[in-house]
């Protein structure tokens, strides 16, 4: 059952080959059996899932089934889910039961999905390895000594091990695309504004974007059909019609113009990963696409620009966690100031504190122009580079990560080395563009991922271009032996 894609499961449910109750029970058992090894779930919601599955089966009998009726999926623990703990991977929210539902999870629930639980993540989505989670690191299903990537590492590992047919993730600087690459999963970061951020705990509001993670681009299309669209509760969501992403998957890619940024293939890229990406590009050539080198001269400045903008926004967003209204509060404060200080001091982990300090510094009087304003100017230059490139090409391709999955602990004491693992993904967020990672092969038993970047709101094309590759290859079907 777990080797079936979401799309196949949808067909199976429609043909009554199995019920949602059976399917849900099957996945709950897989989670129970394998999660102790992987730690990809923070919370499982078995009772709720069983109830939702019964309701889904009843709805189907009544002829009232939504597009994803009865399909079990899991949500990154950054999406507020009413009545269910929403921790954001932090001690700060370990006791937080969300009093309302995020738009993404509400829309998926409306379409009939059955929530299996909440997946592990880096604390407040800050990280590239899942090691900053209060709930401990997630193991990469391909090698338990290695990281799954981050921050949506739990979501990526759950799909890679087929503990859920699909999951939701969020991507501020690469958190869907990088773990997808390290785990052999397909993950789409939509255009900024395509998917509502309402109820998605904010890290860096001008960069954050939720998106789907699944085995295939076809499955991501099914999920994006439901997740996308204007939301009155998020003023940055965009009022553009949502195309039927599934209907757009079978267009020919003959003559597709693919840009290869020379900055993506420089000395920082592992040579084995480079070879694997090259093979994927060759496959596109065989399919009739045209490859050409492009220049994104300001791309190397994306990491420094991001590590001013993202901490600045996080220092503001995370000021709400003060021990007063919700979340962690010390039990024996001496006075108000002591309560603030120790609640935040004990509630947040080291990486979150580092970011709050950097952000507060960058925004402080006298430094604002030197850091924050400068970073915003770089951001514009980076966006302009992409704009220029897209006058010549339809999509841009390259790696999603400079290496395959690294060892747990390998980079955790070196924040800058960790920050560089997002060197190929961050510019995309700064420019607000959509990007997708698809499985592209293996290097010494570890997966690699090809990243495809598109113009604003060109998700339909990205999914089509990804799907065409998946029609010609079977990397996306590979599952680690122990999870077969």
Question: Distance of alpha carbon 335 from its chain centroid, rounded?
Answer: 40
Q: Is 152 exposed, middle or buried (0-12, 13-18, 19+ CB in 10 A)?
A: buried
Tell me whether residue 151 is one of the annotated catalytic residues.
yes
**Cα atoms in the 13 Å half-sphere on the side-chain side of 227:** 34
Q: 81 or 172, CB closer to ligand GLN?
A: 172
Q: Of the listed 7, 133, 175, 246, which one is catalytic?
A: 175
Q: How far is the CB of 172 from ligand GLN (least distance, A)?
A: 4
- The helix (run of H) or strand (run of E) holding residue 214 is strand 210-214
CB nearer to ligand GLN: give 66 or 127: 127
The token duo for 220 is: 């991501």
What is the spatial distance between Cα 353 and Cα 237, in angstroms, rounded to a whole number? Answer: 29
Please give, one letter per residue, the 3-state secondary structure of 393-414: CCEEEEECCCCCCCECCCCCCC
CB of 150 to ligand GLN, least distance (A): 6
CB 277 to ligand GLN: min, Å: 20
Strand ordering across the sheet containing 72-76:
41-44, 114-119, 72-76, 166-170, 210-214, 186-189, 435-443, 446-453, 395-399, 257-261, 290-294
Of 188, 178, 176, residue with least CA distance to 216: 188
Cβ nearer to ligand GLN, comparing 168 with 343:
168
Here the tokens at position 272 are 């084995």
128, 129, 133, 151: which is the annotated catalytic residue? 151
Q: To which H or E segment does residue 305 belong?
A: helix 302-317
Nearest approach, Cβ of residue 128 and ligand GLN (Å)? 4
Closest separation between CB of residue 352 and ligand GLN, Å? 10
- How many CB atoms lie under 10 A from the CB of residue 70? 29
CA angle 328, 334, 340 (to 5 degrees): 40
Nearer to ligand GLN among residue 20 and residue 178 (C-beta): 178
- Note if 102 is an active site residue: no
Task: Please identify, using beta-carbon distances, which residue of 130 and 263 lies nearer to ligand GLN.
Answer: 130
Minimum CB separation of residue 201 from ligand GLN in Å reads 11
- Dist CA 77 CA 85 (whole Å): 8
What's the closest the beta carbon of residue 112 comes to ligand GLN, in angstroms?
Answer: 28
CA distance 116 to 106: 14
Q: What are phi and psi of 195, to 5 degrees?
A: -120, 135
Which residue lies nearer to ligand GLN by CB, 30 or 189? 189
* 248: its two tokens: 């757009």
Out of 76, 107, 118, 455, pick the active-site residue.
76
Looking at the Cβ atoms of 125 and 166, the one nearer to ligand GLN is: 125
Nearer to ligand GLN, 149 or 259 (CB): 149
Whether 217 and 186 have beta carbons less than 8 Å apart is answered as yes
Q: Which of 202, 6, 222, 29 has the alpha carbon at shortest distance from 116?
A: 29
In the complex, the smallest distance separating the C-beta of residue 151 from ligand GLN, rounded to whole angstroms, is 4
Q: Peptide bond preceding 347: is omega within 30 degrees of 0, i.e. cis?
A: no
Q: Judged by CB, which is closer to ligand GLN: 57, or 131?
A: 131
End-to-end distance of the chain based on CA atoms, in angstroms?
Answer: 10
Residues that bind ligand GLN (CB under 6 A): 125-128, 151, 171-175, 203, 310, 422
* Least distance CB 292 / ligand GLN (angstroms): 29
Phi, psi of 59 (to 5 degrees): -60, -45
Catalytic annotation, residues: 76, 151, 175
């Amino acid at each position: 059952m777990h080797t079936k894609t979401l799309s196949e499961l949808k067909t199976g449910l429609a043909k009554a080959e199995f019920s949602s109750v059976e399917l849900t029970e099957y996945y709950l058992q897989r989670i129970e059996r394998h999660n102790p090894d992987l730690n990809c779930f923070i919370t499982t919601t078995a009772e709720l899932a069983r109830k939702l599955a019964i309701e889904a089966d009843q709805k189907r009998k009544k002829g009232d089934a939504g597009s994803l009726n009865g399909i079990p999926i899991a949500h990154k623990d950054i999406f507020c889910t009413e009545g269910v703990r929403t921790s954001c991977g932090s001690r700060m929210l370990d006791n937080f039961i969300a009093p309302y539902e995020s738009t993404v999870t509400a829309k998926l629930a409306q379409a009939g999905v059955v929530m299996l639980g909440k997946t592990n993540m880096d604390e407040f989505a800050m990280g590239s390895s899942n090691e900053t989670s209060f709930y401990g690191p997630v193991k990469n299903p391909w090698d338990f000594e290695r990281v799954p990537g981050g921050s949506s590492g739990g979501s990526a590992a759950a799909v890679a091990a087929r503990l859920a047919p699909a999951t939701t993730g969020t991507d501020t600087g690469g958190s869907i695309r990088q773990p997808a690459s390290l785990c052999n999963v397909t993950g789409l970061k939509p255009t900024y504004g395509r998917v509502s951020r309402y109820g998605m705990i904010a890290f860096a509001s001008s960069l954050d974007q939720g998106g789907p993670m699944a085995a295939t681009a076809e499955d991501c299309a099914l999920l994006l059909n439901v997740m996308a669209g204007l939301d009155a509760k998020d003023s940055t969501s965009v009022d553009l019609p949502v195309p039927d992403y599934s209907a757009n998957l079978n267009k020919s890619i003959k003559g597709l113009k693919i840009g290869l940024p020379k900055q993506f293939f420089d000395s920082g890229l592992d040579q084995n990963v480079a070879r694997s990406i090259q093979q994927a590009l060759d496959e596109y050539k065989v399919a009739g696409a045209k490859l050409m080198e492009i220049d994104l001269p300001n791309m190397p400045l994306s990491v420094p620009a991001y590590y001013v903008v993202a901490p600045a926004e996080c220092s503001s967003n995370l000021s709400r966690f003060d021990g007063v209204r919700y979340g962690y509060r010390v039990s024996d404060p001496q006075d108000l100031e002591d309560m603030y200080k120790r609640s935040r001091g004990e509630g947040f982990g080291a990486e979150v504190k580092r970011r709050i300090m950097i952000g507060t510094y960058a925004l402080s009087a006298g430094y604002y122009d030197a850091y924050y304003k400068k970073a915003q100017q770089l951001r514009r230059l980076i966006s302009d580079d992409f704009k220029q490139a897209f006058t010549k090409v339809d999509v841009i391709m390259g790696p999603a990560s400079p290496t395959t999955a690294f060892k747990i602990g390998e980079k955790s004491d070196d924040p800058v080395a960790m920050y560089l693992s997002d060197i190929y993904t961050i510019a995309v967020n700064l420019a607000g563009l959509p990007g997708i990672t698809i499985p592209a092969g293996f290097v010494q038993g570890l997966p690699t991922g090809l990243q495809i970047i598109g113009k604003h709101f060109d998700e339909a094309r990205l999914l089509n271009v990804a799907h065409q590759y998946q029609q010609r290859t079977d990397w996306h079907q590979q599952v680690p032996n122990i999870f077969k």
